Chains A and B, each alone.
Chain A
Amino acid sequence: MLVAAFAGAICGFMGVYVVLRRVVFVSAALTQVAGFGVVLTFYLQSLFLSSLVSHIDPFIFSIFVTVLAALFFSLKKDYMPISMEGVIGFTFLISSSLIIILSDKIVQGHHEIHNILFGSAVVVEPDEVIIVPLVSIIAFIINILLFKDFIFVSYDSETAQLYKYPVKYINLIFFIVLAVILAITTRALGALTVFSLLVLPALSSMYLSRRLIIIFILSAVFGLLSAVFGYFFSFIFSLPTGATMAFAASLIFIFSYIKHELFNNS
Chain B
Amino acid sequence: MRSILVVIMAVAIGACGGEGQQATQAAASTTGLKVYRHAMDQAPSTLDPVQASNVYANHVVVNAYDTLFSYKYLARPYALKPNLAVEMPEISDDELTYTIRIKQGVRFIDDPAFPDGKGRELIAEDFIYSIKRQFDPSQLPVGTWFWIERIVGLDAWKEAGSDYSIEVEGFRALDDYTIRIQLKRPYPQLLDTLTTGYSAIVPREAVEYYGKEFASHPVGSGPFKVIEYDTAKILFERNEHYRQEPVDIWYEGYDPETQAYTGVEVIHGRSPPFIDRLEIDFIGEDAARWSSFTKGNEVQYTVLPNEQVDQVLASKNPVTFKPEYAEKYHGYDVVEFGFVFNAFNMDHAEFGYREDPVENHRNKLLRCALIKAWDWPARSESFYFGLAKIYPGIIPPAVPEFDPDMSRDSVTRDVVEARRLLKEGGWTAENLPVFIFGGAAGIKNRLFFEQARSWFKEVGYPMEKMKLKQFATFGDLSKAWRNSELMYVSKGWGLDYPDAENTLQLFYGPNKTPGSNDANYLNPEYDALYEKSSVMRSSPERTRIYREMNQMIVDDCVAHTGLSRTRIFMWHKDVIALPDRQIVGGFFLKYVDLKTEDTIVEQIN
Are A and B interaction partners? no
Q: Give A residues with C-beta under 8 Å from B.
A: none
Q: Give B residues with C-beta under 8 Å from A.
A: none
